[in-house]
Structure 1
Amino acid sequence: MAEIKFEIKETMGTLSQSPKGWNKELNLISWNGKEAKYDLRDWAPEHEKMGKGVTLNIDELRSLRDLLNGMEL
């Protein structure tokens, strides 16, 4: 299996932390040298391991924002 390379360009924020210390974060990440995209996933401390996540381009992120803003919470 090929190694996945990533570079966190900007950390937008942390949504939560698990009892094991993993953080659910929204970051702007470049995967394998490609254009950076917004990424929501769990990260181990120091970002040495990651969980499965969702990667969004700017248009998808705006659509998600609009959906969330329209919800009654």
Structure 2
Amino acid sequence: MAELKFEIQKNLGEISESAKGWKKELNLISWNGREAKYDLRDWDPEHQKMGKGVTLTAEELKKLRDLLNSMTL
């Protein structure tokens, strides 16, 4: 399996933290040297291991924001 390279360019915030110290974060990440995208996933405290997540372009993130803003929570 090919090595996955990533660079967290900006941490935009944390959403939650598990009992084991993993944090669900929204970051701006460059994957394999590509243009950075918005990324929401769980990270271990050292940012070496990650859980499954979702990566969004700026346009997709705007649409998600609009959907969330239209919801009654």
Same fold per TM (> 0.5)? yes
In structure 2, the partner of 1:6 is 6
* Alpha-carbon separation, structure 2, partners of 1:41 and 1:26: 7
Give runs of ≥4 in structure 1 deviating > 2 Å: none
Equivalences for 1:13-32 in 2 at 5 Å? 13-32=13-32
Q: Counterpart amino acid of 2:23? A: N
* Alpha-carbon separation, structure 2, partners of 1:35 and 1:29: 8
In structure 2, the partner of 1:46 is 46
Matched, 1:33 2:24: no
| Matched length | 73
**SS state of the match for residue 16, structure 1?**
strand
Give the structure-2-normalised TM-score.
0.98
Unaligned runs of 5+ in 1: none
Once the 2 structures are TM-superposed, how far is the Cα of residue 12 of structure 1 from its aligned partner?
Answer: 0.4
Give a deviation string over 1:28-72, Cα, whole Å, max 9, x none.
000000000000000000101000100000000000000000111
Unaligned runs of 5+ in 2: none
